[in-house]
Structure 1
Amino acid sequence: MTGGSIAAWSVADAERWRRAGVPMVLAPVLGGWILAALVVTSYVLLFGLSSASGAWRDGLGGGTDWLRYPGVVLLTALPLWYRYVPVAVFPAALFVAVETALLAARTDDTDRQATAGYLIVLAVCAIAVTGGGLRLRARRRQRALVLAAAGVRRFPLPEGVPESDGHRGHAQVYLGLALCLLGLAVLTDGLVGDLTSGGVGYDAIGQQRVCVVLLVAGTTFAGWGQLAYRAARRLYEEDQPALIVGVRTGADGRHWVCADARTPSAPPLISYVPRGRDTRTPTRLLGSGSVYAEGNGHHDINPRHEPFEAVLYGTLAEGDEVVIEYAYARYDLHQATGRMYAAVTTAPLRPDRHHGLGVWKPVDGATRQRERLREARERAERQRAADERAMREAEERRRNPPRSSSGRSSGSGKSSSHYSSCGGSSCASTCGSSCGGCGGD
């Protein structure tokens, strides 16, 4: 595919990259679920079991508490921000921790449920800050390890690569802004109602709850989209490091990057999901002699059973965007060899850890070639049978056209006119939905 100047990612370098990641318990997905469970527990203690009338409210029945409302929004957002926007957890967790410490200092010693709730909130803040810091540190270390393994050379992206910076993250940003604006409108309605209540206690808890959901979802989408957009921009702004890696395909459609395509014990490390708009195949012919044939060093594989070799452009860490270039063989049904092309995929890297892929076993190239030819013949036979069946059905409809239930009444004239306009006996094969059918109105 590419010249020998691109370095291969060794198993030892890949193992150092894996060890540089965060512990499993603080990984984005699992860590987010742990934080969500702790936040729900704190809400049950503070708002459900506490003797105070709402631990984040004044408890005096004087109406809606607006001063402590930002803390509720930020605490609710922490699990999602930890998963998708880790940078945002630092100011949010600091604000919530300071406010919670002040409230805990004023809490009655007999209200043990509120005290326990405040302690859990402080634990949430500590976990979010610790995990967020470790994740950002792990990203820097993993990028540095990839740069060291790739060497000093940088390469332009391959020809025909889909440019994702024109669309990556835009939908999330626009959706997030729309949700935030809607939430602020709902919250403004409650605030105006409270200010114009004439001193009577006004209950805007309903508006506050709706706004919490909208603001948390909106800020998460907007931040997630902005990070994805920036990652795409970085990929196209300058030449990138490149490594020869292996790629394994999971049953769920996720593709996993591993050290190489030769070591069966090399574990999958990080995943991406190729999408149609971000994949072009084939992009170019690799050479006049680029054919798959026995004895020329190439062999056909089933990507669900063993990895294929690819060139990865870009840095390798969760949230980064990379370009994957790999060989693509196009076969003729009756030929034993195929032409080899290059295919490219642009994709953001996901923070998944669980892959469910075990040690793979290499398949003999000649065996795989015979299997491919057999599968191609079966597909061609099924297609031929389907075409023959369609032709028989079309011939049957031509010989026995459907008749209107009204017989030869005045309505039959209208049906005959419609049938004639569709082309007579060829209607079944040429008219389709544009004529609305040929059996009358």
Structure 2
Amino acid sequence: MTYHIKHLPVGALPEDRVGSWSVTRDGVASRSVSGGGIATWPVADAERWRRAAVPTVLAPAVGGWVLAVLVATAYVLLFGLSSISAAWHSGPGDGTDWRGYPGLILLTALPFWYRYVPVAAVPAAVFVAGEAALALARPADVDRPAGAGWLVVLAACAVAATGSCLRLRARRRQRSLALATAGARRFPLPKGTPETDGHRGHQQVWTGLALCLVAAAVLADGLFRGPAASGVAYDAVGQQGVTLVLLVAGTTVYGRGLLAHRAARRLHEEPQPALIVGVRAGADGRHWVCPDARTRSAAPLIAYLPRKNDTRARTRLLGSGSAYGVGNGHHDVDPRHEPFEAVLYGTLAEGDEVVLAYACVEYHRDQDMGRMYETVTAAPLRPDRRHGLGPWEPADGAARQRRRLQEERERAERYREAQRRAEESRRNPPRGSSSRGDGGGSGNRYNAGGCGSGCGSSCGSGCGGD
């Protein structure tokens, strides 16, 4: 069995920690530093990092849903209730409106780009806002529902542009705060780190390009179709609808994959800053980075999702036997109940990729002591806000080890009992199975019993009637 170790051993650090820990009555951990080495993250600095984030209403998920509602409302007003506004058709027999089509694509993409590709949402919002302003400047082409629809479009553009700029600014601010805490020292990634820059985002990039290529083919089919025999221009609304869906999906997937690939490249290109943090696992599989693994009042900061392909276990041996005996702080914990220490390499903001190195202990059957190995995980940081984690209490290392040994003994006893029963079953098979395999023995016993009464016919000449 393998378990997470509460406190990092010295061998798991890039170099020895300098300083000592102390915990106050309210459970806040602090560390006195006497010079170099890898830095820890004080709770006060972590709170400043948290306050640098954008307000919840402009967070990626919430802001994306707000924009989706605004865009859907604009669709209803412009294309459902308005009778004279410019839509896909500019009038009967006039063919398809191509001039306003780019703005329609960008308007539809705003919620998705805001959530996953905020860099692209800013110019898209500016372009769509310009289209809306030009439409409102022509009163003859706008009725009351259309005017309300264009005002909703302007509101959506304002939310998208403002929120995207604030999110990009918050990322820079959070990176600078984390770098200030980490100090000027830079460390190479630990040995065994998965080389995610070789695959991170590649599938999304190629999928997005494929969708955009299909969209271009469909759009070209509608764009270069000639007029009908009657002279009426070809109506390419069907091709426009299919292309809109394909382009919005393709550009979103492509942009998300490209940003993930660039984050992985930045992580692997050069040595990175490092911090000692706490990590706690959620019930849904997400892991949350905390300022440390000692302060019970410190709230989780940012999440990542560890994947099997991006985790390397047992990259190097950290210790065995008495090197982490009971009482020295290197006991194992349940990461769903309390955080464990890890070294975080990389910058700290949503969308960045980081590497976390932590210690795991591997026990074997009937062993009081096991072996402690380093485990390395590479993962992008997620923009999640809601963690659902409650307060935690530190586990008693000695009591936890006694409980683990008792569970191991009970498991071993159950295993031996199952083996003993299987062996007895092989030695003493059930009677019914042996009689069925007798090859007709029950019929022979019946004939012998019938012969004892002097039947004559079944025995041949042996009985007669004497």
Q: TM-score, normalised by structure 1?
A: 0.85
Q: Match for residue 168 of structure 1?
A: 200
Q: Match for residue 96 of structure 2?
A: 64
Deviation string 1:247-268 (CA, Å, 9 cap, x unpaired) is 0100000000010000111111
Paired residues for 1:378-397 under 5 Å = 380=412
Distance 1:363 1:292 in 2: 16
Q: Match for residue 121 of structure 1?
A: 153
Q: Match for residue 323 of structure 1?
A: 355
Q: Match for residue 419 of structure 1?
A: none
For residue 57 of structure 1, report the CA deviation from its aligned partner: 3.9
* CA spacing shift, 1:246–1:12, aligned 2, 3 Å: same
- The correspondence for 2:49, drawn from 17, 41, 66, is 17
Counterpart residue identity of residue 253, structure 1: G
| Contact in 2 for aligned 1:291/1:339 (Cα 8 Å) | no
For residue 323 of structure 1, report the CA deviation from its aligned partner: 0.3
Q: Match for residue 22 of structure 2?
A: none
Q: Does 1:155 align with 2:187?
A: yes
Q: Match for residue 353 of structure 1?
A: 385
| Contact in 1 for aligned 2:132/2:154 (Cα 8 Å) | yes
Q: Match for residue 75 of structure 1?
A: 107
* CA spacing shift, 1:56–1:363, aligned 2, 3 Å: same
For structure 1, which segment, 90-99 or 282-291, has the greater mean C-alpha deviation from structure 2 after superposition? 282-291
Counterpart residue identity of residue 161, structure 1: T
Distance 2:219 2:98 in 1: 10
Q: Does 1:224 align with 2:253?
A: no
**Which structure has the higher relative contact order (CA within 8 Å, separation 6+)?**
2
| Contact in 1 for aligned 2:53/2:174 (Cα 8 Å) | yes
For residue 202 of structure 1, report the CA deviation from its aligned partner: 2.2
Matched residue SS, 2:361: strand
- The correspondence for 2:223, drawn from 167, 172, 191, is 191
Distance 1:48 1:380 in 2: 70
Counterpart residue identity of residue 92, structure 1: A
* CA spacing shift, 1:296–1:197, aligned 2, 3 Å: farther
For structure 1, which segment, 199-208 or 35-44, has the greater mean C-alpha deviation from structure 2 after superposition? 199-208
| Contact in 2 for aligned 1:194/1:204 (Cα 8 Å) | no
For residue 100 of structure 1, report the CA deviation from its aligned partner: 1.1
For residue 196 of structure 1, report the CA deviation from its aligned partner: 6.7
For structure 1, which segment, 102-111 or 181-190, has the greater mean C-alpha deviation from structure 2 after superposition? 102-111
Q: TM-score, normalised by structure 2?
A: 0.81
Deviation string 1:284-317 (CA, Å, 9 cap, x unpaired) is 0114667432122222211110000000000000
Deviation string 1:34-65 (CA, Å, 9 cap, x unpaired) is 11111011101111111226545424552211
Distance 1:87 1:125 in 2: 14
Number of residue-to-residue matches in the alignment: 401
For residue 378 of structure 1, report the CA deviation from its aligned partner: 5.3
* CA spacing shift, 1:126–1:8, aligned 2, 3 Å: same
| Contact in 2 for aligned 1:293/1:336 (Cα 8 Å) | no
Counterpart residue identity of residue 98, structure 2: W
Q: Does 1:267 align with 2:309?
A: no
Q: Does 1:205 align with 2:237?
A: yes
For residue 112 of structure 1, report the CA deviation from its aligned partner: 1.5
Distance 1:382 1:127 in 2: 62
Q: Match for residue 96 of structure 1?
A: 128
Q: Match for residue 369 of structure 2?
A: 337
| Contact in 2 for aligned 1:292/1:329 (Cα 8 Å) | no
Q: Match for residue 246 of structure 2?
A: 214
For residue 337 of structure 1, report the CA deviation from its aligned partner: 2.0
Deviation string 1:66-121 (CA, Å, 9 cap, x unpaired) is 11111110111111111111100121111111111111222449821111110110
Q: Match for residue 432 of structure 1?
A: none
Deviation string 1:265-293 (CA, Å, 9 cap, x unpaired) is 11111000111111011110114667432
Q: Does 1:27 align with 2:59?
A: yes
Distance 1:317 1:134 in 2: 13
Q: Match for residue 464 of structure 2?
A: none
Matched residue SS, 2:402: helix
For residue 333 of structure 1, report the CA deviation from its aligned partner: 2.2
What stretches of structure 2 of length at least 5 have no aligned partner? 1-11, 18-36, 434-466
Matched residue SS, 1:356: coil
* CA spacing shift, 1:196–1:109, aligned 2, 3 Å: closer
Q: Match for residue 47 of structure 1?
A: 79
Distance 2:154 2:425 in 1: 71
Matched residue SS, 2:355: strand
Larger Rg: 2
For residue 131 of structure 1, report the CA deviation from its aligned partner: 0.5
| Contact in 1 for aligned 2:314/2:373 (Cα 8 Å) | yes
Q: Match for residue 442 of structure 2?
A: none
Paired residues for 1:288-327 under 5 Å = 291-327=323-359
Distance 2:342 2:273 in 1: 14
Taking only aligned residues, the RMSD between alpha carbons, in angstroms, comes to 2.6
For structure 1, which segment, 224-233 or 371-380, has the greater mean C-alpha deviation from structure 2 after superposition? 371-380
Counterpart residue identity of residue 66, structure 1: W
Distance 2:91 2:65 in 1: 31
* CA spacing shift, 1:379–1:253, aligned 2, 3 Å: farther
Counterpart residue identity of residue 177, structure 2: L
What stretches of structure 1 of length at least 5 have no aligned partner? 401-441
Counterpart residue identity of residue 282, structure 1: R
Q: Match for residue 437 of structure 1?
A: none
